[in-house]
Structure 1
Amino acid sequence: MGSLITALALLLVGMPIGLAFALVVILGNAHWDLAAYTLGELPFDVIILSPLIAIPLFILVGELMNRSGLTRSIVELASFTLYKLKAKLGYVLILASGLMGAITGSSVATVAAMGGTLGAEMRKRNYPAPYAAALNAATGLLGVFIPPSIPLILYGSIVEVSIKKLFLASMLPGLLCMIGFACVHMWRSKGLLAAGVDAESTNRAMESSEQKSSTKDIKKWKIVRDLPALALPILVLGSIYGGIATPTEAAGIAALYALLIIFIRVKMPLKQSIQGLHGAVVVGAAILTIIAFTSILNRALVLEQWPQAISASTVALTDNPLIFLLLVNAVLLLIGMFMETNAATMLMGPLLAPAAHAYGIDPVHFGVLLVMNIEIGLITPPLAVNIYVAQKINSANLLPMLKELIPFFCVALAVLMAVTFFEPLTTWYHYLD
């Protein structure tokens, strides 16, 4: 117990996550009596697992998409698809975030990419900055809820659950979140925008039919021109679900495909390509460092029989699986408020999965629930990385932004409760067999 409290205390005072876990391991080794070679070998053995190679590769794809301007292609596709809707730009942000999530697997990367691409444009079209920032932060969750998902890769790797099944299981919850966010936007846009229509739509109403036709033709041409880039999500998900490639292989294919598109169509300067590679290496190394040191801490907690103790205590508390899941939801939502997503997934997955197994809960269903809980922490202060990134990008004041975020937070909680009480939302793929 003391080791976990020490780790949380170090994180709360702002110590880097990897360093905090390393210190806990070193300071507590006299109690755990781990062999010295274990401290060196275990982290290495964990981070060279094949599924984890997908993490830096998906990060690289996101970096290349952002630096080459291909993110704009996703936005243009979403805009072209939704051009008849009122308050169109909000819907574009939701759909484009889902498409971006189908490429990068990262929530914060989705917030940064979409906010940088659409944030200023939304403010120009009379969307209040706090609302634009709140929508940007909330739709960042789609970066993980829509597969592929880096936290699900982590969970599947450490708990030994099929990552492909986890990806399939997260699809319906992700789509439900998109629909819920769209409903909130429909409601809020009527109160925030004149007649519920953004400025661009109003301006288009005054254009001549000839101008409208010309604009539409130009957009069609841009969509056709960008089709190779827009095929990237289909390539990633299609290769995984079609049984052509594993998630790791799909990540490698996506990275190679993105590089080819950039060098053939975009002709991105070599310097920018190197910067993209450097950015992916820095972020990927940070995540893998967290994974490495968390693996030692997990080993120590296993030696202290934490998973067994949690299983025994929860079974003694209740024999109802739904009550257990509600308790887990409460704990994980709290953990997500204070811990970085990947670290929390790596720490709590191995601790809680045995207890879920004791209740006969499907490990895939439980994995999706665990990641959803922790991800919601990204829009729940005090840690709430999505909030701070979106606030900065959209130049919004924090308190009004938090007020605007409440309906989106409620949607995420509602989807979480639906998944908790209705397991087929995640295990629907069984019916395909």
Structure 2
Amino acid sequence: MTLGIMVIVLVIMLVVGVPVGFAFAMSGVLGAVISNFPLGTVASSSYYTLTSIPLLAIPLFILAGEIMNRGRLIDRLVDLCGIFLFWLKGRLGHVAIVASAFLGAMTGSSVATVAAISSSIGNKMMDKGYDRGYVAALTASSGLLGVLIPPSIPLIVYGAAVGASVSELFIATIVPGIVMTIAYMLVHGLSLKKVLNKDTAVGALEASNAKDPEVMKNAKKSIINAIPAMIMPLIILGGIYSGLTTPTEAAAVAGLYALIIILVGKMIGFHQIPEIFFTAAKTAGGIMCIIAFTSVFNKILTLMQVPQQIAQITIGLTDNKIFFLMFVNILLFCVGMFMETNAAVLLMAPLLYPTAVAMGVDPVQFGIILVTNIEIGLITPPMAANIYVSARINGSNLFEMWPHVFKFLLTSIAVLLLITYVPALTLWWKMF
């Protein structure tokens, strides 16, 4: 009864526009009052959640990504991708996809990736004759790679929520990220003839065995300019996997490195630094508020033993891991359609994790399944944050985008099923 009231209140508040974090906190407090749980214990959960060292990586990665964006290092990365993809038809689309993957290795944020790539490549693609709706759909969908390629903010959230190793989660998502990138490139390649305006397309379908003069004439300069940006993933992932740094320490080093690069390179002035920090703080503050207040709701669910009840019900329905994972995917897909990513991860991870482990699912693999599934919600209405951000920047709308988004959505689901039922994709590193 109490759980039903909490869920109804939560849904009503989310529908009327109450901020996500406050909606979770208020419904959680209501549940505590009804169940006569001590409010002091519930309130302290927010504090103890935010004092988690792994979660400190979130604002630091956001800061590093904002510095990279303001220093225009992202544009240099886009140019570098174009140099190595000159031989592909529809090169700009492939550049958008690959650049999104690289950018994910710097920001860890899907929405930030969409905004940056849409601003850098969107107009160029439309100038080449690409349909506006397709450009918006491509950049929105490619933003998912911002989470699958480590570092990933939702994976940090998952690791903190269930006690899984963030380093192992990062290394586990590398192969799925590459698979998703290749799958998107195949979709783009097969879509070219249908999404190009034949009257305005200028060389978009051309592919040459020789170097593209337009891109390659400044190849040496572009490669040199992109070196600072390429070093960033090496700092982050190299530091983590070599054991020199934790994910949080790697995020701090990456932010400091990015700041030094753009200052020494005179890409920004000192007077712009406060604005960069302020923008990053606003973004990080919003995410951290959601994490803190969602913990109140989760605390009540834990005190009510809801995770244990779900585990018992699920095991009672089936003891088959294949069917359990199918049920989990359907549930998470629905949740991702209606909830903000980090809030959904924080809500569903503690609920489903015990059952998944009891069913013999590796905690790391389950983390990749959960985060990938919920992230797909970013291109699945009604929430679909990636779609709305891309539509605004590219001047498109949902009706123009949806037929194209649907193709990438089906592709994402196909890769998700591979991640779910082929454990080697995420656990490959345990083979060595």
Q: Deviations over 1:35-74 (max 9, x none)?
A: 3432442211111111000000111111111112111011
Partner-residue secondary structure (3-state), 1:226: helix
Where does residue 63 of structure 1 map in the other structure?
66
Cα 1:196–1:410, aligned 2, differ >3 Å: closer, same or farther? farther
Shift of 1:239: 1.4
Maintained 8 Å contact 2:86/2:207: no
AA aligned to 2:250 is: A
Cα 1:428–1:202, aligned 2, differ >3 Å: closer, same or farther? closer
1:120 aligned onto 2:123: yes
Shift of 1:308: 0.5
AA aligned to 1:313 is: I
Shift of 1:23: 1.2
Where does residue 172 of structure 1 map in the other structure?
175
Where does residue 98 of structure 1 map in the other structure?
101
Counterparts of residues 314-333 of structure 1 (less than 5 Å):
314-333=314-333
Maintained 8 Å contact 1:190/1:196: no
Maintained 8 Å contact 1:229/1:261: no
Shift of 1:202: 7.5
Counterparts of residues 414-433 of structure 1 (less than 5 Å):
414-432=414-432
Maintained 8 Å contact 1:333/1:374: yes
Counterparts of residues 200-239 of structure 1 (less than 5 Å):
200=203, 216-239=216-239
1:84 aligned onto 2:87: yes
Structure 2 runs not aligned, ≥5 long: none
1:338 aligned onto 2:341: no
Distance 1:39 1:356 in 2: 26
Where does residue 308 of structure 2 map in the other structure?
308
Where does residue 409 of structure 2 map in the other structure?
409
Where does residue 149 of structure 1 map in the other structure?
152
Cα 1:337–1:265, aligned 2, differ >3 Å: closer, same or farther? same
Shift of 1:294: 1.1
The farther-off stretch of 68-77 and 215-224 is: 215-224
Distance 1:403 1:204 in 2: 26
Maintained 8 Å contact 1:67/1:272: no
Maintained 8 Å contact 1:86/1:196: no
Counterparts of residues 216-365 of structure 1 (less than 5 Å):
216-365=216-365
Cα 1:85–1:17, aligned 2, differ >3 Å: closer, same or farther? same
Where does residue 53 of structure 1 map in the other structure?
56
AA aligned to 1:118 is: I
The TM-score, its normalising length taken from structure 1, stands at 0.94
The TM-score, its normalising length taken from structure 2, stands at 0.95
Q: Deviations over 1:326-384 (max 9, x none)?
A: 00100100000000000000011001001111111111111110101100000000000
Where does residue 181 of structure 1 map in the other structure?
184
> Could you tell me the percent identity over the aligned residues?
44
Aligned Cα RMSD in Å? 2.1
Partner-residue secondary structure (3-state), 1:343: helix
Matched residues, number? 428
Distance 1:362 1:283 in 2: 32
Distance 2:102 2:301 in 1: 38
Shift of 1:267: 3.8
Q: Deviations over 1:157-176 (max 9, x none)?
A: 11000111111111111111
Distance 2:279 2:23 in 1: 23
Shift of 1:214: 8.7
Partner-residue secondary structure (3-state), 2:218: helix
Shift of 1:426: 0.9
Maintained 8 Å contact 1:87/1:196: no
AA aligned to 1:238 is: G
Partner-residue secondary structure (3-state), 1:85: coil
Shift of 1:229: 2.4
Shift of 1:392: 0.8
Shift of 1:217: 4.1
Cα 1:204–1:177, aligned 2, differ >3 Å: closer, same or farther? closer
Where does residue 373 of structure 2 map in the other structure?
373
Maintained 8 Å contact 1:88/1:198: no
Structure 1 runs not aligned, ≥5 long: none
Distance 1:239 1:226 in 2: 20
Maintained 8 Å contact 2:128/2:200: no
AA aligned to 2:282 is: V
Shift of 1:244: 1.8
Q: Deviations over 1:77-118 (max 9, x none)?
A: 111111122210000000100000011111000000100111
The farther-off stretch of 238-247 and 401-410 is: 238-247
Distance 1:196 1:148 in 2: 42
Distance 2:384 2:90 in 1: 27
Maintained 8 Å contact 2:57/2:252: yes
